[in-house]
Amino acid sequence: MKNYLFTSKRLGFRNWKLSDIDNLFEINSNIEVMKYFPSTLTKEDCEKFIHRMQQQYIKNKFCYFAVEVIDTKQFIGFIGISEQTYEADFNPSIDIGWRLSPKFWGKGYAKEGALQCLNYAFFQLKLPEIISVAPQINTPSITVMERIGMKKIKKFNHPLLSAFQELEKCVLYKISNK
């Protein structure tokens, strides 16, 4: 377990390595995975994301963590928390999010990982609250938000998605450190 920053029952959470680029690109270039995003991502986009997450971890001790199944060491995607600073009345904030390879969908990994990230955020980092945002049409993510105890706060038009009418209408969920 020494390779991981923390673990859940089945998952290990770690900072990113440059060797993760190909695995991340496989996920981010998948049309089904990126269904609720403006587009798929290039390998260069994935490399920039990894660098950004590495720097965010150094600065804050959190990021959207690289996640593996502990038993098999298989990379499944990312689950974690990240700073959000785009123009919105609830920012700056800390967002929880996830993106997993379709091979690992339907196994409860998003919920398990998100709950462990909330535990890390609240008990290790002592953060006061976590938000999550998704397009209203992204019912799989909204279901995970609700299953981890988040409450819907409001609907809003996401300023970074204004060019994408089907994605612009989003929901904001929140959970507080009790």
Query: Quick check: is 144 in a domain?
Result: no
Tens digit of each residue's pLDDT (9 = 90 or more) over 40-94: 999 999 999 999 999 999 999 999 999 999 999 999 999 999 999 999 999 999 9
Give yes or no for a contact between 72 and 104, defined as CB atoms under 8 angstroms apart: no
Query: Quick check: is 174 in a domain?
Result: no
CATH number at residue 123: 3.40.630.30
The total number of structural domains in the chain stands at: 1
Q: Residue 175 — very low, low, confident or very high, per pLDDT cuts 50/70/90?
A: very high
| Residue 1 confidence (pLDDT) above 70 | no
Query: Quick check: is 19 in a domain?
Result: yes
Query: Quick check: is 95 in a domain?
Result: yes
Query: Quick check: is 157 in a domain?
Result: no
37's CB contacts (< 8 A; 6+ apart) are: 167
Query: Quick check: is 35 in a domain?
Result: yes
User: Shortest CA distance to 120 belongs to which of 44, 59, 65, 43?
Assistant: 65
Write down the H helix ranges in the chain: 21-28, 43-60, 109-119, 139-147, 165-168
Query: Quick check: is 172 in a domain?
Result: no
CA distances to 40, 56, 57, 114, 166 from 94, in Å = 24, 12, 13, 13, 25
Segments forming the whole domain that contains residue 112: 6-127
Query: Quick check: is 96 in a domain?
Result: yes
